[in-house]
A and B are shown apart, each in its own frame.
Chain A
Amino acid sequence: MSVETASEARASAVAPERVEAPLKGWAGQSVPRKEDKRLVQGEGLFVDDIKRHGMGYLHFVRSPYAHAHITRIDVSAAEAIPGVYGTLTGEEVAALTDPFFQISSPPGAHVKDYALAVGKVRYVGEPVVAVVAETRELARDASELVEVEYEPLPPVVDARRALDEDAPVLHEEAGSNLMWTGVYEWGDVEQAFAEADRIVTIKELHFHRFNSTPLECDAALVEYNRGVGQWTIYTNNQFPGFAAIMMGPALRVGLDKLRFVTQDIGGGFGNKITSHPQLVVCCLLARKLNRPIQWTEWRTDFHMSMSHGNERWFHDTEVAVKEDGTLLGFRTKALDDAGAWLRYEPLGGVIWAQVTPGMYRWRNIRLEFTQVATNKAPVSPNRGYSRMQHLWFTERVIDIVAHELGLDPVEVRKRNYIRAEEMPYETPNGCVYDSGDYARMLDLALELVGYDRIEERRAEAASRGKLLGVGIGSTLDSGTNNFGQSRLINPELQFSGNNEVATVKLDIFGEIVVTLGTTPQGQGHETTAAQVVADILGCSVDDVHVRAGHDSYWNSHAGFSGTYASQFAVTGLSAVKGATEMLAAEIKKLGSVILGAPEEALELADGTVRVKDNPEAALPFMACGAIINANNAGLPEDLDVTLNCRYVYRPPFQPPDVERKYGNLTLTYAAQVHVAVIEVDPETGYYEIVDYAAVDDCGVRINPQIVEGQVMGATAQAIGAAMHEAFEYDEEGNLLTPNFYDYHVPHALDMPPLATGAIESPSPFTPLGTKGMGEGGGAGIHAICAAVQDALRGHGDAIVWDSHNPYRRVWEMLQHPERTRELVEVKAA
């Protein structure tokens, strides 16, 4: 266990010791990142940095209406301007491409989704026409000359109204705004409610719309090679495997015609998974105009049109509880707002099930999931995707139950947490939590905020007229998806399992070169991969060159390659480990031939293969590389050595049981327990976080500093979401927070003191004992909601029912607690 304790301002701020010569190995050390050297000099290569001769800049003409028929488009005035290279309309897209493949079963399956709006627009900001010109400025100006006539239609903005009889319908082909619905039930729910002493009901809970707003917007530079019919797509899309599967059939080409290249990506957080429509537009224009196409999204465009996080309502929740606070089960109805298109959806309708019971032992659960379309930007994965919404719900339930039954939230958690000795723990729906000790994490987090003195502090704050509140957020970060879960959404789908690829080779001058299929956006893959390689090959991390980014030409990718869903430490590093072990074995084979000693007598150390008992008899890696690649005459004919090894890691999964909606949906379960201490000004609702602790358990940490960095980032995003960030729409479907002016993300002055801690419960299921981590499960949102509710305890006893609690909402809760009190009821069973 490692606990970093509080110093005055920023608790765990001590820089990890610099590693010179590791004692046990590179893995486990906070090796400073290899990536940083280029990035701190402005020498990173982000997409918008790439230039090509004769490239044209693309600008999108976007819909000003949330819902309207397109009656006429005239691009002639724009095309007449000197320097304008050309345009693309929805009509052309409909002729040249097929609609994107839909993941959903009917009715969502009937949606016809193209890269540009065809005949109709469905949200403000939807791309309608693309204009390409010689300069960014000209493209933007010319797009204003594109004439589009609309016939406005009434929009549906509130998901709760989307299924009303008279609701305007977005996708006529689907019949209504219902996109997907399914009932999940496990255990014996009726029996649980029969056995309960109390039933707590919660009429409505709301998880709001926001996303992680990576600082770099989406972008691409696309070239078309006419002779071979292949596109090269320099992009910051973070899941090329998915983009390829979407784009190939739409463009009517095989996947080999789509070469994806990424290097540095300015943050992703899931928000850069669904740029495939824009990439298709770039591809079509690169072919049509016979020139490279450059597209960089503007911030306002990003906010209006890309990757909002799933907004979700929970209705008619009922919780079965014993007198002592033992939780038996719950039932609820989740209503998910997909926005206008199903770009990755309705996968959110099953992804939550990875963490069905949260961290708790209740085994009787029923959840009716319904996803609807609304006239808002399409949703797609956002850090903590779909599990965060569900975990927020379970944490809210715990705290509301504790609040209403007068129980201690710490005690209720400890009574109901899955216990360390129950690991690996099979959840009611067949997921297997691999390892963990949640109660210990909670103790540690409480210790870090000085919980034993909290009542004293509450009194002290009260003496200053402030309301102190403490809140816990305990969540899971499930990682390494079993894509078989998509079959619970649509049994016809032929996806299952997962994979990632790495190659490791030894080149002529002894260079150790690693390639990966992943697309890191700041997670430090070059560094952690080098640590794993260096340990296996017995060399320094400085000797290992991990190529930056992703390139389809490296042949180091497979169907699920990318960086998303908390998996690199499992999928990526296991692939690296596999490939490096293959290489190590080959080096020994070669060493055995050259040194004339049996392989068992050899070891890899100091950048050589050498005889264990006689280190003088050594062959440097450089010699190995040179012999195999450039000096191989006379080697034994049967020597099966290339020193260029490719390994595909495939996690051990079975397809889930579709009938029972049962099976293991993810391989690892990292856990986080956060505790927030806040002080509320009862006059204004203004509040401040005065103490904050984040305890993480992601199994074996290859680079603790990088892990801590992920914890910090996830914490900051959760704080932002809980307090400030929301994509809010007016009744007409206009986004009210379309840029950083209105959408307040935390600044340096907003950050509270932070203490971090960690325990390591190695995963028994992964080659390195690691677990994927980084998403953080939204723990901070849960903790802050709980803290607000705690602060208001005895001051109207408002129930926190929304995940977004800006000061005005806290003020409203103080003024009108009864409006939230109406939402809950406790019944004797």
Chain B
Amino acid sequence: MATVASSKSITVTVNGTTYEREVPARKLLIHFLRDDLDLTGSHIGCDTGNCGACSVIVDGTLVKSCMMLAVQADGATIETVEGLAEDGELNELQRSFNEHHALQCGYCTPGMLMSATALLRANPSPSEQEIRKALQGNICRCTGYWNIIEAVKAVAK
């Protein structure tokens, strides 16, 4: 059995709010976000880092937050799905997901939105193939991806 003793105090800024928390060294970032900060928008769909439901942006880089320990995020700036809407208004990408019916159960959606956000920041005019490639780390079991790809395409410049 692993030892559970060691814990550490960390400071993270999530969607503009700074939190200081004591966390066990073994705690995954996704569990920290969901359980400790109650930011339950990011989800968990696997235990092997394959599904991308937990995708968030850490210091500008897209990260699967189940593949990172919370203590590793000490000092980081994190963006999650809860931070996408601007003043309570859906942003363009979120609206596009709605218009293109790019979600059904919505469980993969936060991760998809974060992956697409990271893509569009790095490459505002991605080709369809680039979109597919950028989303290949995100599993969706409901939509077959076609509408997701269209939704991202529609906001590409």
Which of A36, A43, A135, A745 is close to B141, meaning CB atoms less than 8 Å apart? Answer: A745
Q: Which B residues between 137 and 157 are near A, CB-CB below 8 angstroms?
A: 137-150, 153-154
Distance A746 CA – B101 CA, assembled complex (angstroms): 19
Q: Any chain A CB within 8 A of the CB of B109?
A: yes
Interface contact A740-B50, CB-CB below 8 Å: yes
Interface contact B105-A264, CB-CB below 8 Å: yes
Interface contact A215-B4, CB-CB below 8 Å: no
Q: Any chain B CB within 8 A of the CB of A626?
A: no
Which of A138, A715, A741 is close to B50, meaning CB atoms less than 8 Å apart? Answer: A741
- Across the interface, name the chain B residue whose C-beta is closest to A719: B144
Interface contact A49-B40, CB-CB below 8 Å: yes
| Cβ–Cβ < 8 Å partners of A9 in chain B | 128
Q: Any chain B CB within 8 A of the CB of A524?
A: yes
Given A41-B41, A748-B132, A748-B135, CB of A13 within 8 Å of CB of B150: yes
| Cβ–Cβ < 8 Å partners of A216 in chain B | 43, 45, 105, 107
Which of A16, A268, A751 is close to B146, meaning CB atoms less than 8 Å apart? Answer: A751
Q: Any chain A CB within 8 A of the CB of B21?
A: no
Q: Which A residues between 213 and 271 are near B, CB-CB below 8 angstroms?
A: 213-217, 264-269
Interface contact B139-A266, CB-CB below 8 Å: no
Q: Any chain A CB within 8 A of the CB of B47?
A: yes
| Cβ–Cβ < 8 Å partners of B98 in chain A | 32-33, 36-37, 40
Interface contact B4-A748, CB-CB below 8 Å: no
| Cβ–Cβ < 8 Å partners of B148 in chain A | 748
Q: Any chain B CB within 8 A of the CB of A635?
A: no
Q: Any chain B CB within 8 A of the CB of A298?
A: yes
Which of A15, A267, A749 is close to B142, meaning CB atoms less than 8 Å apart? Answer: A267
Q: Which A residues between 1 and 33 are near B, CB-CB below 8 angstroms?
A: 9-10, 13, 15-16, 18, 30, 32-33
Given A40-B97, A266-B105, CB of A712 within 8 Å of CB of B146: yes
| Cβ–Cβ < 8 Å partners of A522 in chain B | 103-106, 142
Interface contact A36-B97, CB-CB below 8 Å: yes
Which of A15, A41, A521, A749 is close to B94, meaning CB atoms less than 8 Å apart? Answer: A41
Q: Any chain A CB within 8 A of the CB of B84?
A: yes
- Across the interface, name the chain B residue whose C-beta is closest to A41: B85
Smallest beta-carbon distance B142→chain A, Å = 5
Q: What 0/1 readout, one digit per residue, does chain B (2-24) give for beta carbons within 8 Å of chain A?
A: 10100000000000000000001
Smallest beta-carbon distance B34→chain A, Å = 7
Q: How many A-B residue pairs have CB under 8 A?
A: 207
Smallest beta-carbon distance B39→chain A, Å = 7
Interface contact B105-A712, CB-CB below 8 Å: no
Question: Which of B39, B46, B48 neighbours the largest number of chain A CB atoms within 10 Å of its CB?
Answer: B46
| Cβ–Cβ < 8 Å partners of B137 in chain A | 747
| Cβ–Cβ < 8 Å partners of B153 in chain A | 13
Q: Any chain A CB within 8 A of the CB of B53?
A: yes
| Cβ–Cβ < 8 Å partners of A265 in chain B | 105
Interface contact B103-A40, CB-CB below 8 Å: yes
- Across the interface, name the chain B residue whose C-beta is closest to A30: B101
Distance A642 CA – B46 CA, assembled complex (angstroms): 48
Distance A36 CA – B100 CA, assembled complex (angstroms): 11
- Across the interface, name the chain A residue whose C-beta is closest to B150: A13
Which of B46, B101, B132, B135 is close to A740, meaning CB atoms less than 8 Å apart? Answer: B46
Smallest beta-carbon distance A353→chain B, Å = 29
Which of B80, B104, B138 is close to A42, meaning CB atoms less than 8 Å apart? Answer: B80
Interface contact B136-A212, CB-CB below 8 Å: no
Distance A248 CA – B139 CA, assembled complex (angstroms): 36
Q: Any chain B CB within 8 A of the CB of A547?
A: no
| Cβ–Cβ < 8 Å partners of B143 in chain A | 709, 712-713, 716
Interface contact B84-A41, CB-CB below 8 Å: yes
Q: List 21 A-B contacts (CB under 8 A).
A: A15-B99, A18-B99, A30-B101, A39-B103, A43-B82, A44-B107, A137-B27, A141-B4, A215-B45, A264-B105, A266-B107, A267-B142, A299-B46, A299-B48, A709-B143, A713-B143, A746-B144, A748-B131, A748-B145, A754-B144, A754-B146
Smallest beta-carbon distance A81→chain B, Å = 9
Q: What 0/1 readout, one digit per residue, does chain B (124-136) give for beta carbons within 8 Å of chain A?
A: 0000100111011
Q: Any chain A CB within 8 A of the CB of B71?
A: no
Q: Any chain A CB within 8 A of the CB of B65?
A: no
Smallest beta-carbon distance B25→chain A, Å = 11
Interface contact B144-A715, CB-CB below 8 Å: yes
Q: Any chain B CB within 8 A of the CB of A657?
A: no
Distance A145 CA – B1 CA, assembled complex (angstroms): 8
Interface contact B141-A214, CB-CB below 8 Å: yes
| Cβ–Cβ < 8 Å partners of B145 in chain A | 716, 746-748, 751
| Cβ–Cβ < 8 Å partners of A88 in chain B | none
Given A141-B1, A215-B43, A747-B139, 9 more pairs with CB closer than 8 A: A15-B100, A15-B154, A141-B2, A215-B45, A215-B51, A264-B107, A265-B105, A522-B104, A713-B143
Interface contact A748-B149, CB-CB below 8 Å: yes
| Cβ–Cβ < 8 Å partners of B84 in chain A | 40-41
- Across the interface, name the chain B residue whose C-beta is closest to A136: B31
| Cβ–Cβ < 8 Å partners of B31 in chain A | 136
- Across the interface, name the chain A residue whose C-beta is closest to B80: A42
Q: What 0/1 readout, one digit per residue, does chain B (45-88) give for beta carbons within 8 Å of chain A?
A: 11110110100000000000000000000000000111011000
| Cβ–Cβ < 8 Å partners of B42 in chain A | 42
Q: Any chain B CB within 8 A of the CB of A523?
A: yes
- Across the interface, name the chain B residue whose C-beta is closest to A296: B44
Q: Any chain B CB within 8 A of the CB of A51?
A: yes
Interface contact A706-B1, CB-CB below 8 Å: no
Q: Any chain B CB within 8 A of the CB of A48?
A: yes
Given A36-B106, A41-B82, A41-B94, CB of A740 within 8 Å of CB of B136: no
- Across the interface, name the chain A residue whose C-beta is closest to B100: A15
Smallest beta-carbon distance B70→chain A, Å = 12
Distance A89 CA – B25 CA, assembled complex (angstroms): 31
Interface contact A299-B41, CB-CB below 8 Å: no
Question: Which of A32, A144, A212, A296 neighbours the largest number of chain B CB atoms within 10 Å of its CB?
Answer: A32
Smallest beta-carbon distance A742→chain B, Å = 9
Distance A521 CA – B47 CA, assembled complex (angstroms): 22
| Cβ–Cβ < 8 Å partners of A741 in chain B | 48, 50
Smallest beta-carbon distance A448→chain B, Å = 14
Distance A299 CA – B50 CA, assembled complex (angstroms): 11
| Cβ–Cβ < 8 Å partners of A710 in chain B | 104
Smallest beta-carbon distance A602→chain B, Å = 36
Interface contact B90-A10, CB-CB below 8 Å: no
- Across the interface, name the chain A residue whose C-beta is closest to B138: A748
Interface contact B39-A42, CB-CB below 8 Å: yes
Given A9-B128, A13-B146, A136-B31, CB of A43 within 8 Å of CB of B104: no
Interface contact A267-B81, CB-CB below 8 Å: no
Closest CB pairs A-B (n = 6): A42-B41, A716-B144, A266-B107, A522-B104, A39-B106, A522-B105
Distance A618 CA – B113 CA, assembled complex (angstroms): 46
- Across the interface, name the chain A residue whose C-beta is closest to B2: A141
Distance A706 CA – B110 CA, assembled complex (angstroms): 20
Interface contact A215-B144, CB-CB below 8 Å: no
Smallest beta-carbon distance A424→chain B, Å = 31
Q: Any chain B CB within 8 A of the CB of A451?
A: no
Which of A10, A49, A213 is close to B149, meaning CB atoms less than 8 Å apart? Answer: A10
